[in-house]
Structure 1
Amino acid sequence: MTLPLIPPMLATPGALPAAVQDARWAYETKQDGQRVVAYLEGDGSVLLRARSGEDITGAYPELRPLGSALGGTPAVLDGEVLALDAEGRADFQLLQSRMGLAHAPGKAERQAAKVPVHLVLFDVLHLGNKNLTSLPYTRRRVQLERLGLDGPFWSTPTALVGHGEQALQATREHGLEGLVCKRLDSVYEPGVRSRAWIKIRNMRSEDVVVGGWLPGRGRLSGLPGAVLVGQRAAGRLRYVGNVGTGWSEAERSQIAALLGAAATDVCPFDPVPRVAGAHWVVPRLVGEVRYSTRTRAGLLRQPSWLRLRPDLAPEDASADIPDARPDPLS
């Protein structure tokens, strides 16, 4: 690849900018999919890299024609791969059937026929022989829109300048995941979680790492009754609670198989939580959970399982957690 490798810029969780600052921000719908950076060499090829840097091009064969969408002009584009439900909304559970197939071309082709994806593009990082990351958002956005990238499996949604409160309310009314606020004068910061981009989720959720599990009882005998989850803080995996609801029967069986393959005698949490009957696993499985609030000790209240996040690495599940000792209770 002759184009520069550019890791994606990340948004920081937060709230809407103050009303007096509203006109200095652009607002884009927060999409519920897999983040990708697309590399178009200008020779008809396209390379898709996940947020982790992994080459996932083979998982999405319907996006191959994007490689010739700009003719001979090389480009690096930032976007999100979505799978849409019957109402045209992004559905991450549908997308999961498409993920992880980068090295299984036959299966990827079959799944593409059943669950086609759509790539939404929201930034251009390199164009021709010029790196655009040092340009402000407004200038990059103009460049992106001039490219006219709207095809059978990709599009360039509009961004709204100002009117953040109305934009956020519209995402809630339409059942969308949330909003991303981008400062108009912000440069693109590769690989940085920046305050120049703020993400607002319409549901309170967190990415967590599974570090153990508790056996189920009754009809759940032989399956996990709950998983023990943590988040990275100050260089260690901190325990933040146990999650025993939110799964379908199929999901619980799937997670049971993954936990069995990751069994270990070593507790990955620091400090070790006092949880009777716990089985420990190598902390490599990432999931997303919904919760009501967080305790002063950093534990999640009333957490329920939302989904697996195979697109994230364990290091991505981090949080600011109070350094509470002695060891937390379950």
Structure 2
Amino acid sequence: MAPPITAKASNGVDGEVVVIHEERTNFSELQADLGRGDQDRLIYFAFDLLWLDGQDLRKMSQLARKGLLKELIDGNNLKEPIFYSEHHEGDGQELFEAASRLNYEGIVSKRVDAPYRSDRVEAWQKIKTVQKGKFPVVGFIKDPSGVAALYLGKKEGNELRYMGKVGTGWDRTTSGKIRKALETVVSPKAKLTKPINKPKVTWVEPKFYADIEYRDITSDGLLRASSFKGLTRK
């Protein structure tokens, strides 16, 4: 989400609205706040300046535009909830690895000498990090030759909580093997501590664990942008 704002009527600033949760930006918390209409935690990171007093800056270099943006923010004494987004130069791989360790969603890389482009081009790249985990399979949805989706849980003490479903990451052969394995542990009812109403699901004993890559966990406690990577028996 990156709505433009204006510091003056003719100054176009590009940036992104975020929510900081547990010392990092959190898309799921942002979704939740917007859904409730809450604005107290909304913060705006300004990272580019496209227009200044009617002058089109988009042909200038990224670094030059950011310099003018910082001058605009400092000169107008703009404070929280508006922040200037710093530009860091250095080893991109090291920065990406640091972002991964901190569970950040990813990094955005831009060429400092590049003009502004609104579409995705080689001069700027958004590289997402991924998180990994093992989650017990609590059910599956059949398709003609295998599975269409797996329903996942997470053990918390003596409870088994629903964590959402995954429907990508396998080919037809793997899909068939997953179904064959899960059909050996079919259960007449869900083993979740708090059952959910999913009439098309075939429930199973949580004997198999799915290796999952995912971007984040939503405010509802569900995996976001998940992908299947493997299946192991407990």
How high is the TM-score relative to the length of structure 1?
0.41
* Structure 1 pair 97–250 and aligned structure 2 pair: CA distance change class (3 A): farther
Q: CA deviation at 1:88?
A: 1.7
Counterpart of 2:93 in 1: which secondary structure?
helix
**1:133 aligned partner:** 58
- What pairs with 1:74-89 in structure 2 (closer than 5 Å)? 74-85=10-21, 87-89=22-24
Indicate yes or no: 2:169 matched with 1:244.
no
SS in 1 for 2:114: coil
Q: Which runs of 5+ in 2 are unaligned?
A: 133-137, 155-160, 176-210, 219-234
**CA pair 88-204 structure 1, distance change in 2 beyond 3 A:** closer
Are positions 1:178 and 2:106 aligned together?
A: yes
Q: Contact 1:290/1:304 (CA < 8 Å) preserved in 2?
A: no
Distance 2:215 2:20 in 1: 21
Q: Cα RMSD over matched residues? A: 4.0
Percent of pairs with identical residues:
21
Q: CA deviation at 1:175?
A: 1.9
Q: Give the paired residue count.
A: 166
Which residue of structure 2 lines up, in the alignment, with residue 91 of structure 1? Answer: 26
Cα 1:118–1:242, aligned 2, differ >3 Å: closer, same or farther?
farther
1:123 pairs with one of 34, 42, 48: 48
- Which of the numbers 68, 80, 95 marks the counterpart of 1:152? 80
Q: CA deviation at 1:82?
A: 0.9
Amino acid at match of 2:84: T
Residue type of the alignment partner of 1:135: M
Cα distance in 2 between the residues matched to 1:172 and 1:95:
20
| 1:259-274 equivalence runs, <5 A | none
Instruction: Work out whether 1:35 is the aligned partner of 2:7.
Output: no
User: Cα–Cα, structure 1 residues 246 and 161, in superposed 2: closer, same or farther, change >3 Å?
Assistant: farther
The structure-2 alpha-carbon separation of the partners of 1:294 and 1:180, relative to structure 1 and needing over 3 Å to count, comes to: farther
Residues 303 and 132 of structure 1: CA distance in aligned 2, closer, same or farther (over 3 Å):
same
> 4+ residue runs of structure 1 moved beyond 3 angstroms?
39-42, 225-228, 241-252, 293-297, 301-308
C-alpha separation in 1, matches of 2:86 and 2:53? 23
Q: Which runs of 5+ in 1 are unaligned?
A: 1-33, 43-73, 101-106, 206-218, 229-240, 256-288, 309-330
Quote how far apart the aligned CAs of 1:168 are.
1.7
Displacement, 1:199? 1.6
In structure 2, C-alpha distance between the alignment counterparts of 1:294 and 1:160, rounded to whole Å: 38
Superimposed CA distance per residue, residues 263-290 of structure 1 (whole angstroms, 9 cap, x where no aligned partner): xxxxxxxxxxxxxxxxxxxxxxxxxx79
Q: Distance in 1 between matches of 2:126 and 2:142?
A: 27
Work out whether residues 242 and 303 of structure 1, in 8 Å CA contact, stay in contact via their aligned partners in 2. Answer: no
* CA distance in structure 1 between the aligned counterparts of 2:88 and 2:122, rounded to whole angstroms: 19
Whether 1:197 aligns to 2:148 is no
Sort the Cα spacing of 1:303 and 1:160 in 2 relative to 1 into closer, same or farther, 3 A: closer
Contact 1:244 1:305 in 2 (8 A): no
